[in-house]
Amino acid sequence: MTSRPFHGAVGQTLTLPILQVGDPVLRERAREVSPDELPALQGLIDDLIATMRAAGGAGLAANQVGDLRRVLVAEVPEGGNPRYPYKPPLPLTVMVNPVLEPVGDETVLINEGCLSVPNIRGDLPRFVTVRARYLDRDGAEREQEFRGLSAGTIQHEVDHLDGVLFLDRADPRSLTTWEEWERNGKAVFLERIEGLPK
């Protein structure tokens, strides 16, 4: 029998409530996990994936469901993401203890939203290319480069693990509701990211 200590009930994957800006857990730094804790993390990982998918997110960090272990998930399915239809596909990625390093110093102004920040979007600079070192859910050491909007997604999620929200990095004058962004920001943004590597 696989030992998979659970987050919810045995064998049951839960969609969890997502903490909202103002909750102090979003402002805490999640702690590194030791490899022997991985079996006990599997339930949380399953719940993070289910919660991300149910909410239509492109990523989710453990802080956002009230857990301060250093775990994130990210995914953009082939058919696209409902919240961010312009994001290129990103296979389901689970990162434990991720460490990011920029590759080059090129940045791009990305427009972001967040499941923990209702109805606000904003522009902020992200590195165009980052190298991530992390453990996958089975404890294997991985090293992977991400580019463009996928790099932005990963930077956003690792920020969560450090207690940082996109609001902290955004130009306050760029903040919009989702509806106003559709009306006033989207076309300019799509033009800006046209040449971004995928």
Residue of closest CB approach to Ni ion: 114
Cα distances (angstroms) measured from residue 6 to each of 16, 36, 48, 64: 14, 15, 13, 18
Q: Which is nearer to Ni ion, 140 or 178 (CB)?
A: 178
Please give the positions annotated as active site. 157
Site for Ni ion, rule CB under 5 A: 114
Determine contact, residues 124/166, Cβ cutoff 8 Å: yes
As measured in angstroms, the least distance from the Cβ of 1 to Ni ion is 35
As measured in angstroms, the least distance from the Cβ of 139 to Ni ion is 26
Q: Which is nearer to Ni ion, 14 or 114 (CB)?
A: 114
As measured in angstroms, the least distance from the Cβ of 35 to Ni ion is 26
Q: Which is nearer to Ni ion, 26 or 141 (CB)?
A: 26
Q: Which is nearer to Ni ion, 125 or 139 (CB)?
A: 125
Following DSSP, what letter does each residue of 59-112 receive, concatenated? EEEGGGGT--BSEEEEEE-TT--SS-TTSPPEEEEEEEEEEEEESSS-EEEEEE
- Antiparallel, parallel or unpaired: β 107-114 and 117-127: antiparallel
User: Cα(122)–Cα(173) distance, rounded to whole angstroms?
Assistant: 8
As measured in angstroms, the least distance from the Cβ of 123 to Ni ion is 15
